[in-house]
Amino acid sequence: MNDPEQTVMFKEKVFLESDTDDSSAEADAATAVHPAAPDHVPSKQSPGVSLDASVAAPATQPAPPSAAQENSLEQKVIDEALKKCFDPEIPVNIWELGLIYDVNVSPEGVAAVKMTLTAPACPVAGSLPGEVETRIKAIPGITDAKVELVWDPPWNTEMMSRVAKVMLGM
């Protein structure tokens, strides 16, 4: 299982199939409680932050999706794009690394993502946001995608999910 995506999926499967609490031995770290999102992301959209104003609507207006459909599209963005995108230097996806600060899908199907990198001088600064945008645009129901690279708050290892920390031996 050398493929990073398969490794993450295996660790998530182990977690989902386990019934272990935080008081278990360190040897059982791979099955520790794992939040639905990285520790630093309370929800798919941070409270009080609206990205819709900075995103242009598509030329043709499809029927607006219901709130449930929007949440479904946000979850698809996470599952089908963000959890499948890896920093080439780290064998953990960008979602688990805590590089994603906000995910929002407008009623028009426009996905807006705020993300950061591990450091401003990160070698993938020029390519990773574009890769994320391309992966999101490939999702059915998404009409456009905007990825904003932000540096505040600065990324640190506390932003990583428990799965990422286990995978990296932390």
* pLDDT tens over the chain, length 170 residues: 455 555 544 555 444 444 444 433 333 333 333 334 444 443 443 323 333 433 333 344 444 544 555 578 999 999 999 999 998 888 899 999 999 999 999 999 999 999 999 998 888 888 999 999 999 999 999 999 999 999 999 999 999 999 999 999 99
CA distances from 60 to 63, 66, 158 (A): 10, 18, 42
The tally of domains found in the chain comes to: 1
Considering the domain boundaries, does residue 18 fall inside one? no
For residue 151, what are the domain limits? 40-161
Considering the domain boundaries, does residue 101 fall inside one? yes
Q: Cα separation of 14 and 163, whole Å?
A: 10
Considering the domain boundaries, does residue 32 fall inside one? no
List the beta bridge partners of residue 146.
112
Considering the domain boundaries, does residue 168 fall inside one? no
Considering the domain boundaries, does residue 29 fall inside one? no
H or E segment to which residue 146 belongs: strand 144-149
